[in-house]
């Protein structure tokens, strides 16, 4: 069998398995399990798209929370019915075109992605004039500015009150569908000539420039695509938790994403997927340390906030001692899986 | 007039913190994200020194400065030193991790509820200065900043360690070739920067007498912007940047009260504008691309 046909077949089988698992959970899983699975899918989308900029282009972008916020607000404002909006915006009414609009969920998600992309395009000009630490701070600042604006622009975002009572449109099929789509698109992009150019910029920007690669164009492309998926994921997130407010999308969110992609391996899509799944699951599993623990002879009091300490320590340990993370820059592909299997049978 | 004095006072706080950023950046080319959190560490240390050990503030504040300085060295040893030869992005991530670790440790160990700061009476008095009612602290802050700044400039420009520091920020490798112990220089840099941050943290805590684990984040970011505004790597620039930013923030709120809620966005807008039009800052030298 040709390798490529084999790989396609394997991918189809994998998707089918995923679909069966999702179906089983949707029918028989508890609400809690479904919630974790949804979180997992959204974190996969976010981590994979964030990794495109940080891992493959090698620039430290600290503002994905801004695009998630923009996406969440855009899609929330578009799916709420005009009556709900009138009820929510008590201090200042919503400005005109948005106050009477209502579109289906799918359209709102695309709009969320596009709005995030437009904002990304607008800030890309100051952002890509600088590199390294400056770029990190500018994007971080952009995230802060968006949060401040969300608090201040009452007639658009309802200010600190946020938007409440969104319809929980986000089902397992939506979240995982988007996650799979993101992974496919990003993998295709990374393996294309654009992806190779991005990696060249990451390794040595001057040399890449000398080879005729335009850094601005390629970084912009990665940035915009990343923003688009962050926006879509923001829309999914908004309709999963059904209440959004400016305090929800702080730098904390970016920090979590950073942990995910560093632990997964900067520059590895499969690493990002694995780490995101681990994070969504581990974040719940680690709740143990925050609740009182009974060890038989002594009872340890639960320490609220301990999870974040653990996450910070994990990040520091990985970056200090195991900088490659789980996957390094390599990918988990069928070729490798089969190669490993062959070795096993031979030995 | 009142507002200008407030602005200068706030500006000098930014300047104190910005110096630490700029010194570390000058030598290591690293944004020390955890620098802002040193404010928080110093403020808590001062609370404990005054309340638990019941030291008078005249002793405890300098003591806290020294301790925070040592803490800065410790931070460098643990989080940055193992990564000297690693890609810059790893160093930055390590700095962000250190910053979050400090904040969350503070939440776990001390608790997220804000603590009041035991402000010495001497600073809380309100005096009448040419018809203006001003808190003594507001006047003392710029004066103290100036004194500390003089001391720092003396160390940097008149002593051997200072000469080595300036050399290291010009060319790291050559300095090492000249037989200078760079680890020591870096330690001194972190010590000085962190003690100044501690002074800033204590005064910040007296100005806004509430200490919580996240109190250092926003002043830290703004001080960094001040450093960029003044031209990063340049101590005098950091001071100028601090004053410009502090004055700008206060005056914008004073002149356009309806803009008050956008105050925190002001600093970042300034940053983006500076980077667009003059990336080297007010007093910076052209950035040479050292890869």
pLDDT tens-digit map of A120-159: 999 888 888 777 777 888 888 888 888 888 888 877 887 7
The rounded mean pLDDT for chain B is: 82
Query: Looking at the partner chain, which of A137, A149, A309 has a beta carbon nearest the beta carbon of B104?
Result: A309
Q: Is A207 on the interface with B (CB under 8 A)?
A: no
Q: Is B55 within the bounds of a domain?
A: yes
Query: Looking at the partner chain, which of B108, B224, B225 has a beta carbon nearest the beta carbon of A309?
Result: B108
Q: Is A271 within the bounds of a domain?
A: no
| Structure tokens given for B148 | 């500390």
Residue B271 to residue A136, Cβ atoms within 8 A:
no
Give chain B's contact residues with A (Cβ, < 8 Å): 25, 29-31, 79, 82-83, 86-90, 92-94, 96-98, 100-101, 104-105, 107-108, 112, 221, 224-225, 228, 261-262, 264-265, 267-269, 271-272, 275-276, 279, 289, 291
Q: Is B290 within the bounds of a domain?
A: no
pLDDT tens-digit map of B75-93: 988 888 888 877 777 888 8
Q: Is B132 within the bounds of a domain?
A: yes
Q: Which of A254, A309, A310, A322 to mutate to test the interface with B (most CBs of B within 10 A)?
A: A309
Nearest residue in A to B287, CA atom: A130
Residue B107 to residue A305, Cβ atoms within 8 A:
yes
Q: Which of residues 252-291 of A touch B (CB under 8 A)?
A: 255, 258, 262, 266
Taking each helix axis as running N to C, give the angle between helix B235-255 and helix B2-28, from 0 to 180 degrees, rounded to the nearest 10: 150
- Nearest CA-CA partner of A119 in A276, A246, A234, A245: A234
φ/ψ region of A325 (left if φ > 0, alpha if ψ in -120 to 50, else beta) reads left
Helix (H) or strand (E) holding A300: strand A299-300
pLDDT at B10: 87
Residue A320 to residue B264, Cβ atoms within 8 A:
no
Residue A151 to residue B90, Cβ atoms within 8 A:
no
Domain limits for position A98:
15-250
Residue B276 to residue A309, Cβ atoms within 8 A:
no
pLDDT at A25: 86
Q: Is B291 within the bounds of a domain?
A: no
pLDDT at A297: 58
State the first-to-last Cα distance of chain A, in angstroms, to the nearest integer: 23
Residue B261 to residue A134, Cβ atoms within 8 A:
no
Q: Which residues of B touch A123 (CB under 8 A)?
A: 272
Q: Which residues of B touch A140 (CB under 8 A)?
A: 221
Q: Is B221 within the bounds of a domain?
A: yes
Query: Looking at the partner chain, which of B89, B262, B271 has a beta carbon nearest the beta carbon of A58?
Result: B89
Nearest residue in A to B99, CA atom: A312
Q: Is A201 on the interface with B (CB under 8 A)?
A: no
How many domains are there within chain B?
1
A81 confidence band (pLDDT: 50, 70, 90): confident
Number of H helices, E strands in chain B: 12, 4
Query: Measured between alpha carbons, how far is B160 from A196 in angstroms, rounded to an integer?
Result: 49
Residue A312 to residue B264, Cβ atoms within 8 A:
no
pTM of the model: 0.85
Residue B268 to residue A144, Cβ atoms within 8 A:
yes
Q: Is the pLDDT of residue B105 over 70?
A: yes
Distance set, CA B92 to CA A70, A327, B31 (Å): 26, 20, 7
Query: Measured between alpha carbons, how far is A231 from A119 in angstroms, rounded to an integer?
Result: 10
Neighbours of A346 (CB within 10 A): 6
Question: Model ipTM?
Answer: 0.78
Query: Measured between alpha carbons, how far is B34 from B75 in angstroms, rounded to an integer?
Result: 9
Residues in chain B: 291
Q: Is the dihedral of CA B259, B264, B270, B276 positive or negative?
A: negative
Q: Is the pLDDT of residue B286 over 60?
A: no
Residue A141 to residue B25, Cβ atoms within 8 A:
no
Q: Is the pLDDT of residue B112 over 80?
A: no
Q: Is B285 within the bounds of a domain?
A: no
By mean pLDDT, which of A139-143, A333-337, B281-285 is the weakest? Answer: B281-285
pLDDT at A290: 67
* Cβ–Cβ < 8 Å for A206, A56: no
How many domains are there within chain A?
1
Between A51 and B116, where is the model more confident?
A: A51
Domain limits for position B166:
2-277
Nearest residue in A to B259, CA atom: A152
Query: Looking at the partner chain, which of A125, A129, A304 has a beta carbon nearest the beta carbon of B279?
Result: A129
Query: Measured between alpha carbons, how far is A150 from B243 in angstroms, rounded to an integer?
Result: 28
| Structure tokens given for A321 | 């001692």
Q: Count how many pairs of residues, chain A against chain B, have C-beta atoms within 8 Å.
A: 114
pLDDT tens-digit map of A235-281: 999 999 888 888 888 888 888 898 888 888 888 888 899 999 888 88
The rounded mean pLDDT for chain A is: 84
pLDDT tens-digit map of B9-61: 888 888 888 888 888 888 887 888 888 899 999 988 888 888 887 777 778 88
pLDDT tens-digit map of B144-187: 888 888 888 888 888 888 888 888 887 878 888 888 888 888 89
Q: Which residues of A touch B93 (CB under 8 A)?
A: 60, 258, 262, 315, 319
Query: Measured between alpha carbons, how far is A192 from A225 in angstroms, rounded to an integer?
Result: 14
Q: Is A38 within the bounds of a domain?
A: yes
Neighbours of A185 (CB within 10 A): 16
| Structure tokens given for B113 | 């509820």
Between A144 and A229, where is the model more confident?
A: A229
B291 confidence band (pLDDT: 50, 70, 90): very low
How far off is chain A from B195, nearest CA to CA, in Å?
A: 23
Q: Which residues of A touch B221 (CB under 8 A)?
A: 137, 140-141, 144
A181 confidence band (pLDDT: 50, 70, 90): very high
Query: Measured between alpha carbons, how far is A72 from A68 in angstroms, rounded to an integer?
Result: 6
Q: What is the CATH number of the domain that holds B231?
A: 1.10.3470
Nearest residue in B to A302, CA atom: B108
pLDDT tens-digit map of B184-228: 888 988 999 899 999 988 888 888 877 888 888 888 888 888 888
Q: Is A246 within the bounds of a domain?
A: yes
Q: Which residues of B touch A309 (CB under 8 A)?
A: 101, 104-105, 108
Taking each helix axis as running N to C, give the angle between helix B235-255 and helix B136-158, from 0 to 180 degrees, rounded to the nearest 10: 160
């Amino acid at each position: 069998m040709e390798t490529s046909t084999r790989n396609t077949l394997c991918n189809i089988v994998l998707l089918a398995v995923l679909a069966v698992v999702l179906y089983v959970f949707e029918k028989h899983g508890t609400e809690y399990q479904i919630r974790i699975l949804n979180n997992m899918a959204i974190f996969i989308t976010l981590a994979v798209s964030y990794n495109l900029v940080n891992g493959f282009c090698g620039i430290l972008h600290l503002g994905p929370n801004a695009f998630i916020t923009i996406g969440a607000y855009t899609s929330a404002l578009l799916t709420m019915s005009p009556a709900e909006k009138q009820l929510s915006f008590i201090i200042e009414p919503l400005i005109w075109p948005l106050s009477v609009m209502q579109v289906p969920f799918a359209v709102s998600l695309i709009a969320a992605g596009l709005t995030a992309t437009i904002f990304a395009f607008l800030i890309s000009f100051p952002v890509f004039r600088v590199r390294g630490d400056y770029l990190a701070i500018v994007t971080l600042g952009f995230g802060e500015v968006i949060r401040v604006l969300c608090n201040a622009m009452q007639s658009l975002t309802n200010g600190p009150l946020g938007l409440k009572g969104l319809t929980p449109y986000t089902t397992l099929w939506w979240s995982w569908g988007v996650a799979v789509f993101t992974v496919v698109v990003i993998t295709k992009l990374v393996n294309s000539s654009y992806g190779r150019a991005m990696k060249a910029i990451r390794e040595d920007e001057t040399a890449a420039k000398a080879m005729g690669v335009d850094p601005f164009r390629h970084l912009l492309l990665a940035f915009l695509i990343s923003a688009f998926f962050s926006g879509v994921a923001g829309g999914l997130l908004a309709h999963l938790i059904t209440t959004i407010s400016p305090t929800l999308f702080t730098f904390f969110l970016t920090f979590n994403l950073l942990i995910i992609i560093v632990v997964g391996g900067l520059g590895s899509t499969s690493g990002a997927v694995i780490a995101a799944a681990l994070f969504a699951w581990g974040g719940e599993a680690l709740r143990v340390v925050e609740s009182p623990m009974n060890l038989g002879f002594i009872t340890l009091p639960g320490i609220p906030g301990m999870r974040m300490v653990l996450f910070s320590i994990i990040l520091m340990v990985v970056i200090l001692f195991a900088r490659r993370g789980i996957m390094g820059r390599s990918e988990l592909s069928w070729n490798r899986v089969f190669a490993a299997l062959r070795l096993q049978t031979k030995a | 007039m009142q507002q200008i004095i407030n602005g200068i006072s706030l500006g000098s706080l930014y300047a104190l913190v910005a110096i630490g950023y700029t010194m570390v950046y000058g030598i290591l080319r690293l944004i020390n994200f955890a620098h802002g959190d040193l404010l928080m560490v110093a403020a808590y240390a001062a609370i404990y020194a005054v309340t638990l050990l019941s030291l008078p503030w005249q002793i405890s504040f300098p003591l806290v400065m020294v301790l925070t300085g040592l803490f800065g060295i410790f931070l460098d040893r643990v989080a940055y030193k193992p990564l000297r030869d690693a890609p810059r992005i790893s160093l930055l991530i390590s700095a962000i991790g250190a910053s979050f670790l400090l904040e969350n440790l503070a939440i776990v160990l001390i608790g997220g509820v804000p603590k009041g700061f035991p402000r010495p009476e001497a600073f809380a008095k309100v005096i009448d200065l040419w018809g203006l009612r001003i808190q003594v602290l507001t006047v003392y802050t710029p004066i103290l900043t100036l004194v500390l700044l003089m001391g720092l400039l003396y160390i940097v420009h008149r002593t051997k360690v200072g000469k080595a520091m300036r050399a290291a920020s010009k060319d790291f490798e050559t300095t090492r070739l000249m037989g200078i112990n760079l680890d020591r220089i870096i330690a001194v840099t972190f010590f000085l920067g962190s003690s100044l941050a501690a002074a800033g943290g204590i005064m910040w805590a007296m100005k806004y007498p509430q200490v919580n684990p996240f109190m250092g984040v926003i002043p830290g970011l703004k001080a960094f912007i001040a450093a960029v505004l003044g031209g990063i790597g340049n101590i005098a620039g950091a001071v100028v940047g601090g004053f410009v930013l502090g004055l700008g923030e206060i005056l914008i709120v004073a002149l356009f009260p309806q803009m008050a809620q956008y105050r925190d966005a002001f600093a970042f807008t300034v940053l983006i504008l500076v980077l667009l039009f003059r990336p080297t800052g007010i007093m910076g030298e052209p950035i040479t691309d050292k890869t």
